[in-house]
Amino acid sequence: MAGAPPPFAPYEWMIAWRYLRARRAEGGVSVMTWISLIGITLAVFALIATLAVRSGFRSEFVGTILGANAHVTVYSAGQTTGQGGIDRTLHDYDALAERVAQVPGVIRVAPLIKGQVMISHRGRNAGAQVFGISAVNLASLPAIAGGERAMGDLSRFDAGIAIGSGLAREIGAGVGDRVKLISPDGARTPMGTSPRVNAYEVVYVFTAGRYDIDQTRVYMPFDEAQSYFNREGVADELEVMVARPEAVEDIALPILRAAGEGTQVWTWRDASGGFLRALEVEDNVMFVILSILVLIAAMNIVSGLIMLVKNKGRDIGILRTIGLSEGSVLRVFFICGAFTGLIGTLSGVILGCLFAIYIDPIFSFVNYAMGGGVWDPAIRGIYSLPAELHLSDVARAVALSLGLSFVVTIFPARRAARLNPVEALRYE
């Protein structure tokens, strides 16, 4: 027809808007509309909040790994000693470090000494892991040297040791205190190996942001660690930092080739791969579960539209009688359902974004209301509940909500469009 109005003409929007504002006396349609809108709002809010917390947790966890640990570790495959043991130390660590440092993408190589000790201060003891490292290399670790809650003077590192804040609290030590390090692998004598006990001044207390690091780690000057652990002239491993740690698999093989025969490499993904895979599985499962919640909320739109069609049967008959096409009727009721989904989605996005932005005060209030202890860093590894908004996550939530809202709206809208006007007006 030459004079047919275009789809979604102004009068279709006007009729849909009138139905959306229907009073309770006209069939309670507005109540169902509000229920649908609130359901979609809460579902989208939950989806965005969960995605934001998931992204923040993964980013914080990976950040603390990369900020205080090696991206790639180079160590010896082991050589048999004259006594039949296995020697896994690196004897030519300086030359080895120079070769590895020449690999494109490597930004730092640091020889390390590692050992287990017991740390003691005024009768309080704890187990600790000692990292022997040079002052220059320690200062280049962002999570250690750049922590906002760090105490002491890292420039005095060669005069003492640096310990984690959790370990410092456990033994009651602070900057300036002298602590004892006790190692069972001490001086070798004709009577056997005697424990080694040395006292060191705490010159620096760091907070790396990871509970397991802050609770157990001690940094000692490299030369002193060589003497303390009987590693004169050797290193236990090389700590390698790369420019693009997220693509560490691409650089692991060039590093291994540069290190030469008799060496092996271990990346941060190898060390934390199981946990990261568990996070990915959890992310997928949570997205599916919350998607079902969005679908359930969207189904409320169907209930509301079915009631609307039933209550407006007479109106539909009159509109069809005066010339409204099936397509126009379908679009009127589609607008009613889609508008509810659109407003609910928009409201959910706003609430979800506000939750992610103000998660710290919200979490503090929840922690206070529950009496504290809601977030246990000993279990989760990090100290607080983080959230990180990504445009892709918000877009996924919006696309899911609007897609489901539009799809489920079609079915009751088609039912309204196919209503026979004669049957609708038979008893009017």
Region of 4 on the Ramachandran plot (φ > 0 left; ψ -120 to 50 alpha; else beta)? beta
Return the structure tokens found at 227.
């003497």
Average pLDDT score, the chain:
83
Confidence of residue 374 (pLDDT cuts 50, 70, 90): low
Residue-wise pLDDT tens digits, 246-276: 889 899 999 999 998 889 999 988 888 777 7
- Arithmetic mean of pLDDT, 372-377: 62
Alpha carbons 245 and 268: distance in angstroms, whole number: 8
Phi, psi torsion values for 182, nearest 5 degrees: -120, 120
The model carries a pTM of 0.72
Q: Which two tokens stand for residue 6?
A: 């275009």
Amino acid residing at 42: L
Cα(227)–Cα(99) distance, rounded to whole angstroms? 26
224 pLDDT more than 90:
yes
Q: Measured between alpha carbons, how far is 382 from 216 in angstroms, rounded to an integer?
A: 14
Asked whether residue 24 carries a pLDDT value surpassing 60, the answer given is no
Name the pLDDT band for 152 (thresholds 50, 70, 90).
Answer: very high
354-363 pLDDT, tens digit per residue, is: 998 888 888 8
Distance CA 277, CA 81 (A): 39
Q: For 41-54, what is each residue's pLDDT tens digit?
A: 999 999 999 889 88
The b/e string for 191-205 (b: 16+ C-beta within 10 A; e otherwise) is eeeeebebebebbbb
Secondary structure string (H, E, C) spanning 216-232: HEEEEEHHHHHHHCCCC
Query: CB under 8 Å to 231, separation ≥6 — which residues?
Result: 89, 113, 132, 225
